[in-house]
Amino acid sequence: MIDFKIDEDKCISCGLCAQDCPVGIIEMTPNPSIRKSKEKQCLKCQHCLAICPTAALSILGKKPEDSLSSKGELPTYESMTRLIKTRRSIRKYTHEDIDPELIQELLETTAYAPTGHNYNSVHFTLIDKREELEIFRDKVYEAIKKAGEAKTLLPQFQFLYAIQKVWENNGVDVIFRYAPHLLIASAPKKNSSPFPDCLIALSYFELLANSRDIGTLWNGMLTWVLNDIDPAISELIGIPIDYTVGYGLVFGKSAVSYPRAIQSEGLSLNKVKMDKN
């Protein structure tokens, strides 16, 4: 039941909702409607709710008056360009923790990120307390040590054993970089695109975080541990066994600043021209 409702006093029968429906299940009779037999085809994308010019349409129990208006200030092209070009991977963090309310706001906005087939089921695992992240860090390094000693590490992950030794012998944290917070994105394996969905969501989170002067670092080494070395650690922090770990991201207040952007090595682009024959 998708709970498709039309306020007939507001509806002007413009047909925009029917025209914009990705699966074409909205009919004009003359007001918009969806047959019961077609409700299962609904993607739950809410395009119909978003496009209605008179706020006459409700769906899935969601009312237009509860939606954020698209009218208002947006980032300029120049400001977005500057944010993207000056973004850096941060490997040194202060001892300052990020306000939990701000983290919650960032995550709630990140939940708007697009997903394949509109499944909208990316799962976020957050460790926001430094002492808890330290406990988790120890378990990750221990998992690498066990795999290294048992000689079960795949060739491409052998370097992680050396990094574990650096941690054990010298107390140098190469994997987590002493960051105060960790975010992991995962998604159901049954979804059509669980891995890309996670990457898209974390990319949204990173840009939002950077806009609030929060440094981030994509944590590939942790992701390899969770997916390939010891998946049991994922279950330890509540990631369902039938979920794919897309990626991990550490974040916090940067202890360094970069006065300028780097200079890109250049764009790799193939402009395709198709022959009609």
- pLDDT of 20-65, one tens digit each? 999 999 999 999 999 999 999 999 999 999 999 999 999 999 999 9
Q: Which numeric CATH code is attached to 77-252?
A: 3.40.109.10
- pLDDT of 182-231, one tens digit each? 999 999 999 999 999 999 999 999 999 999 999 999 999 999 999 999 99
- Indicate the average pLDDT of the chain: 96
- pLDDT of 67-119, one tens digit each? 999 999 999 999 999 999 999 999 999 999 999 999 999 999 999 999 988 88
With CA atoms as reference, report the closest residue to 127 among 93, 105, 100, 102.
Answer: 100
3-state secondary structure of 125: strand
Q: Which numeric CATH code is attached to 5-66?
A: 3.30.70.20
User: What is the predicted pLDDT for the residue at 70?
Assistant: 95
Give the Å distances, CA to CA, from 187 to 134, 139, 206, 244.
25, 23, 18, 5
Say how far apart CA 136 and CA 85 lie, in whole Å. Answer: 32
Say how far apart CA 12 and CA 54 lie, in whole Å. Answer: 8
- pLDDT of 235-263, one tens digit each? 999 999 999 999 999 999 999 999 999 99
Domain boundaries along the sequence of the chain = 5-66, 77-252
